[in-house]
Amino acid sequence: MSYDFAVWEGPQPENDEAVLAHFERWAEVDEARDDSGELSAPPTARIKDFIEAVLAQHPDDEQGIWSAGLSVEDAHGPFVYLSMTFSGADRALGDIVELALARDLVCFDPQEEAVVTAADLE
């Protein structure tokens, strides 16, 4: 089991229902890509920068953060889905959200079906 988290480019959603609908569309793209093995679109510059910043702070190594690894190739254009261990999420999620929000990216917690904002970090 993993703690999943999604980050993408776009306007901040008006409410949790809007963000859930947006996430579900991206999750379908992500699933189709996993089934075909083909990259749907290269990562955008902001998403690539975000992933590289996350990996600089939390490399895919013995830290035990990532349940499925993380790399730039995991992104689909302006969207990336992160899978962490639960203990990894406890250690890294605050950093991940800060890095995403600093790049004006949307953060979504599928477990809570809610957008994550800076206020949630306080």
More confident residue, 22 or 91: 91
Q: Taking 80 as the threshold, does the pLDDT of residue 57 lie above it?
A: yes
pTM of the entire structure? 0.86
The residue among 30 and 102 whose pLDDT is bigger is 102
User: How does the average pLDDT of the chain come out, rounded?
Assistant: 86
Three-state SS for 18? helix
d(CA 19, CA 12): 8
Average pLDDT over residues 43-59: 95
